[in-house]
Structure formats: C-alpha cells, structure tokens
Amino acid sequence: GAIGVDHREQIWASIHDSGVVVMDKNKKLLKYFENDPNDKRSLKVKRVNRVLIGPDKNVWLCGRNGISRIDPVTLRVDNFENTPLAKFDRMHVVPLWFTDKNNLWIAASFDGLFHYNLITKELNEVEAFKRYKKDGILDLKIDSSGNIYIGNRAGVQILFRDGRVKELTQKNGLLVDRGEGILIDGHNRV
C-alpha cells in the first residue's frame, strides 16, 4: 500500500485493490474513495500504488487506470477527463514526480516516461527512455539538477539533462539487476 499525509495532517492510505481511505490525525475515518465505473465522480484509479502530495497541496494518486487528483479540503475527485492526462486511463502508472509546481513526470510502467506541463497542458514522451520501455518502470526520481533516475527490471538508467544516458547494472556496481526503489537524500545523493 501507499500512504501520504497532506497539509491538513490528514492521512491518505491505499487499500489493496479497493481504493483509498482518508483519516484525520486521530485516525478517525473521514472518507473512503473507491472505483465505481457507474459514477464519474468516483476514483478512476482501480489499484492505487502511489499517493503523492503535490506542490498544489492536492493528493495525486496513480496506479492501474491512470491518474486521479483529490482536493484534500473539498474531497472532490478530478479524473482528468478531457485533458491530455486521460491518455493514461488504460495504463498502469507508477510513479509520479513533480520537479516543481508546473512540471509533472509520469512513469507508465511498460508504456514509457512522460513529461506534463500543468500550465501549457502539453504532454510529451521522453525520447531517451523509449528503448528501455520493455524493462518497465518500478521507480522514478529526479534530482535537484534535473537528472532523471529510473529503476526497472534491468537496473537503473540515469537520463542526464545534457542528453547522456548512463545504465547501472550488476556489472557496474548494483547488487542486483533490478532497481525497485530510489531515494534522494537532503544532499542530493541518490
């Protein structure tokens, strides 16, 4: 499961294949969101794999069936209908990463890596990653210099801002040929 705590100290927790619950800081249930195909206002994501509190203070959810966003104050669901993000409705998205309030990076498991500008509403696939799609994406992080780190079944790829790509595998330093989780510390070390 995935857990996030919003600016109101509400706890957001995914429930395996069953949606998301919201609790107050005393762990009192406030709301249960589930996927209901007959209700367009319900949660679009069928299996929430990640909970991300965005720079807009909204709760961003991703998993099977794309991306949803929930306002933590009104608890209104936005499923991004009639936007470029609807492209992910039939994909398994995991994870999302904001580099700032206007730029969202989207990892769509075996469908590629994408950049979305929230101001211009422009969605683009990252060309440098296309050859790695077959290996899937297990994790994604971007350091403060703008370098992109992708963990997948074949290791870790680093897409540098200058266009270079570096592959990390067991042959050149990883303990195993699988990049399942990536962390960036306060000193920008990965």
Going residue by residue through the chain, which has 190 residues, state the pLDDT in tens, using 9 for 90 and above.
Answer: 799 999 999 999 999 888 999 999 999 999 999 998 888 889 999 899 999 999 999 999 999 999 999 999 999 999 999 999 999 999 999 899 999 999 999 999 999 999 999 999 999 999 999 999 999 999 999 999 999 999 999 999 999 999 899 999 999 989 998 999 999 999 989 9
Q: What's the pLDDT score for residue 41? A: 86
pLDDT of residue 40: 83
d(CA 148, CA 139): 11
The CB density around residue 92, as the number of other CB atoms within 10 Å, is 21
The owner of tokens 């990390």 is 168
Contact 92, 100 (CB under 8 A): no
Task: Tell me if the pTM is above 0.85.
Answer: yes
* Cβ neighbours of residue 62 closer than 8 Å, sequence gap 6 or more: 45, 48, 49, 50, 52, 68, 88, 93, 94, 95, 96, 106
Cis peptide bond upstream of 37, omega within 30: no
Please name the residues in contact with 28: beta carbons below 8 A apart, sequence gap of 6 or more: none
Q: What tokens appear for 63 in the block?
A: 């998993």
Residues 6+ apart with CB under 8 A from 99: 105, 142, 146
Rg (CA), the chain: 17
pLDDT value for 85: 98
Question: Which pLDDT score, from 0 to 100, does residue 140 have?
Answer: 94
Calpha distance 157→77 (Å, rounded): 34
